[in-house]
A and B are shown apart, each in its own frame.
Chain A
């Protein structure tokens, strides 16, 4: 399964009416082509905890997060917060870690120097993870009941990644994300964490 196939499968199945948070690199480019109002984060380690914060704050919508192996592994402390977030948000959060095994944007070296048991890692904090190696397995995982806490989608891309093509920077991405969230809420005014 390629990154494009994984992104397509997930968005087709759970992207409708959802807010999306995305990691960087090839994943971001593929998400942008299909869901340009996603929040694109150019910060390894941030997508999963930021998405958890979004899911906790936006209780009326579904949150989909596309993280990547290199990014997720950069902040493993997140798995503790992830456990609590899943307790609170349940099926409103879909977290997919697209695992290509390499740091593609960082030159292509391996993303870890030892074998990694994803399901064991996440099970250690009570988070149920499912491995998906093909689009059909991914569809099965997305439709599973109870909903898996994390889906590890194994991807392999034979074509080299294209350069950055997204037409938005971080702040524009934030604004488009918020506008999309407002539209889903049927609101017009931007949310501001102010008192009045």
Chain B
């Protein structure tokens, strides 16, 4: 099942998206020609807020961003979840995964898991393309439980397969 099929299976209404080099081609292809509102934003905190508001209405929104976006969005994730019970679902591209050649990406790996744990975000790291859509479905089931935000962390190999 492709990301496009996964988004359809979940019934995604809107993608709030901060493009990054790993996910951009895949996400663009997945949303093209569908009724999904693909809204590009310029800061991850904004994307989290948009998705949290959208989710409050019963709509299904997915935030797509690089894992470094967690750091940009720490303040809103720390406030909206614990203080307000406002959550969202994220698809994070995994920069700094084992084997990443980019020198600047190591810090993304270094900080990602501690931040996810500290912020109380449930997550799964997927390394196989076939797991992408099922993980999204699972993520929205957990989101529907209304206890916390949920993230699907996508290994670069998955995006490579989908290119």
Show the binding face of A for B, using Cβ within 8 Å. 21, 39, 41-43, 45-46, 49-58, 75, 77-78, 80-81, 84, 88, 169-171, 173-174, 177-178, 181, 191-195
Contacts and interface: CB of A to CB of B under 8 A. Distances in A.
Given A50-B49, A195-B140, A171 B56 contact: no
18 contacts: A21-B53, A42-B83, A43-B84, A50-B49, A50-B52, A51-B53, A52-B53, A53-B49, A55-B53, A57-B58, A57-B59, A81-B50, A171-B85, A174-B86, A181-B57, A192-B58, A192-B144, A193-B144
Contacts of A78: 46, 49
Contact of B55 (A46, A51, A57, A77): A57
B84 A57 contact: no
B69 to A, nearest CB: 12
A45 B50 CA distance: 12
A84 B39 contact: yes
A177 B58 CA distance: 12
Interface in B5-60: 10-11, 13-14, 16, 37, 39-43, 45-46, 49-60
Given A50-B49, A193-B140, A43 B79 contact: yes
A81 B46 contact: yes
A54 B53 CA distance: 5
Given A43-B79, A173-B84, A194 B56 contact: no
Nearest to A80: B42
Nearest to B89: A193
Given A46-B80, A173-B84, A174-B84, A195 B137 contact: yes
Interface SS majority for chain A:
helix
- Pairs A-B, 4 closest by C-beta atoms: A191-B58, A53-B53, A57-B57, A194-B144
Contacts of B107: none
Given A46-B76, A170-B83, A193-B140, A58 B43 contact: no
A192 B143 CA distance: 9
A194 B12 CA distance: 10
Nearest to A43: B79
A174 B80 CA distance: 10
Nearest to A191: B58
B50 A52 contact: yes
Contacts of A21: 53
B137 A53 contact: no
Nearest to A171: B85
B51 A77 contact: no
A136 to B, nearest CB: 31
B146 A192 contact: yes
A45 B84 contact: no
Contacts of A174: 56, 84-86
Q: Which of A42, A54, A178 has the most CB of B within 10 A?
A: A54
A170 B85 contact: yes
Contacts of B100: none
Contacts of A177: 56
A53 B58 CA distance: 11
